[in-house]
A and B are shown apart, each in its own frame.
Chain A
């Protein structure tokens, strides 16, 4: 089983719908992240959490919210999806050390019609 698991892997929805992407990890890491990947733009940070009580906005948080339900779970919500939120979303984790290495899930492809 993957260390970082994302569900769903693929989702097609309509404009205005609420969507939740879930992430769970078995690595025991405190730090979790949500990134968005768009062609030609690389990965951009949406939200990050350094522990259960710590939630921080990234560079593109507008239109998104997150919940850190437990050390191992970090979910991303789109309250009212719009077409320009169509993208590939990645959850990632890291430990507290200074290695800077992120461990990624396999991604959730979201299409908003």
Chain B
């Protein structure tokens, strides 16, 4: 079945450091890929997404590129801020025959803490 693997956390960085959170996947069909973010005490919210190979999703300074050849969707940010401290989830949504089933498969989450 489909699966998503994220790098082990937690990740601790100083403000303005470069961030990479690795994500790889296995899936049948042609998945769409997502990064969700969960701030303390809140539900998850979509950060960015990519729906086909070589697409780049971006939002709030975060970027991720859909790499079909390496089955990866790594999250990057050039300069993190304290307010980026959160849990980040990589996820996929497999489509088969052009139909989206609307069910996401999530990675285990990576806790990011950014210090001033």
* Chain A contact residues, CB within 8 Å of chain B: 4, 31, 33, 35, 40-45, 48, 50, 58, 90, 92, 94, 96-102, 104-107
| Selected A-B contacts with CB under 8 Å, 21 pairs | A31-B102, A33-B102, A40-B109, A42-B4, A43-B104, A98-B32, A98-B95, A98-B99, A99-B49, A100-B34, A100-B93, A100-B102, A100-B104, A101-B34, A102-B44, A102-B46, A102-B104, A104-B44, A105-B43, A106-B43, A107-B43
Complex CA distance for A102 and B44, rounded to whole angstroms: 9
Given A48-B102, A94-B102: A4 and B49 within 8 A (CB)? Answer: no
Residues of A within 8 Å of B116, CB to CB, are none
- Residue of B32, B89, B106 ringed by the most chain A CB atoms within 10 A: B106
Residue count of chain B within 8 Å CB distance of chain A: 25
Complex CA distance for A102 and B32, rounded to whole angstroms: 13
Residues of B within 8 Å of A94, CB to CB, are 102
Complex CA distance for A32 and B109, rounded to whole angstroms: 22
| Residue in A closest to B104 when the chains form the complex, CB atoms | A102
Give chain B's interface secondary structure class.
Answer: strand
Complex CA distance for A41 and B49, rounded to whole angstroms: 21
